[in-house]
Copies of this chain bind each other. A is one copy, B any other.
Amino acid sequence: MSLFGRRPRPVHAPKLKPRRSSSDQAVNRVSLAELTPDLPRYLGQAASLQLSNFEVVSGAIAHSPTTRDKVALTRVARVSLSKLEGLLEEIERGGDRPEELMEYFAAPVESFRERTRSSDWHETVVTSYITASMLTDFFLALADGLPPAPRERIQKVLSDDPSHIIVEQLRSAIDAEPVLASRLALWGRRLVGDTLLVARSSLAVPGRVAPDEARLEPVFTELIAAHTRRMDALGLTA
C-alpha cells in the first residue's frame, strides 16, 4: 500500500461555489469527497486521531474529581475505543498493519495533542469533546470520497455520539461553578484553530496540487457552525 498513492476517483460535477440548497451538509460533503485521500492514509490518520482522543479521555478519567465523573467518562472512552477498533479492523481488512499506517501520523498527532493539552480537568473534558466532535464531523464528511464498502462501514463506526454524557457533565459543572463559563468558552475557542489545522492537513496530500481554498471554505464554515451549536448546548459563547 502507499500512503501517497493517487487512485482514480469518481468524477463529480464540479461545485466550486458554495450555494444554498435544501441541504448545506450535502454540498460540503460533495466538496470534501473530491479531496479524500487514499483509504490507507485516511484510516491511518483517523485511527491516530481516535487513539489520541482516547488518551485525552482516559487522562481525564484518571484526574476526575469524583467517582461519578470517572464513571461518566468511561462511557465516553468506550465509544472512543469502539471507533478506534472499527478503524483498526478496517485497516487489517485492507491487509495493512495498524501500527504502520498510524506511525506516520504519530508525530503530528502528538503535536496536535500537545497544543490542545490542558492541566485543568474541565478544560481537558472540553478538549476531548470539542476536538473529537469536530474531527468526527470532518472524517464522516471525508469518508464520502472512499469506496462504497469501507465508506459504509466507517461511517457507521464513526456515527456513535456520546456527546450527551459530556454535555450533561459540563453543564452541571458550570451550573455549580458559574465562574467556569468564561474560561471554558475561551478554551473552546482556542481549540478550534488547531483542530481545523489538523483537519486541513488530512487533505494536503503531498504530490497533489493544493486544495482549492474556495472549495474548502464552506466545509470549514460548516464545521465552525457545528462547533458553535455545541458551545451553545453548553451555555457557552463560541
Residue in B59, B74, B103 whose beta carbon sits within 8 Å of that of A51 in the complex: B74
Interface size on A, residues (CB 8 A): 27
* Chain A interface residues toward B at CB < 8 A: 51, 54-55, 58-59, 61-62, 66-68, 70-71, 74-75, 77-78, 81-82, 84-85, 88, 97-99, 102-103, 106
List, in ascending order, chain B residues with CB within 8 A of A66's CB.
99
How far, in angstroms, from A74 to B98 measured CA to CA in the complex? 12
Given A62-B55, A66-B99; A78-B75 close (CB under 8 Å): no
- Chain B residues with Cβ below 8 Å from A74 are 51, 54, 81, 84-85, 88
Contact of A81 among B77, B99, B106 (CB under 8 A): B77
For residue A77, which residues in chain B have a CB less than 8 angstroms away from its CB?
Answer: 54, 58, 77, 81
CA distance A106 to B51 in the complex (A): 27
> Smallest Cβ distance from A53 to chain B, in angstroms?
11
* Alpha-carbon gap, A62 to B102, bound state (A): 15
A-B contacts, 9 listed (Cβ < 8 Å): A54-B58, A55-B61, A58-B58, A59-B62, A68-B98, A74-B84, A77-B77, A77-B81, A78-B81
User: Which residue from B55, B85, B98 sits with its C-beta under 8 Å from A78?
Assistant: B85
Q: Name the residue on B nearest A50 (C-beta).
A: B74
Give bound CA distance, A99 to B81, whole Å. Answer: 22
Q: Are B51 and A70 in contact (CB under 8 A)?
A: yes
Task: List chain B residues, Cβ under 8 A from A84.
Answer: 74
Query: Which residue on B lies nearest to A71, using beta carbons?
Result: B98
For the A-B complex with A71-B99, A74-B85, A78-B81 known, give 15 more contacts whose Cβ atoms are closer than 8 Å.
A54-B61, A54-B74, A55-B61, A58-B58, A67-B103, A67-B106, A68-B98, A71-B88, A71-B98, A74-B81, A74-B84, A74-B88, A75-B85, A77-B77, A81-B81
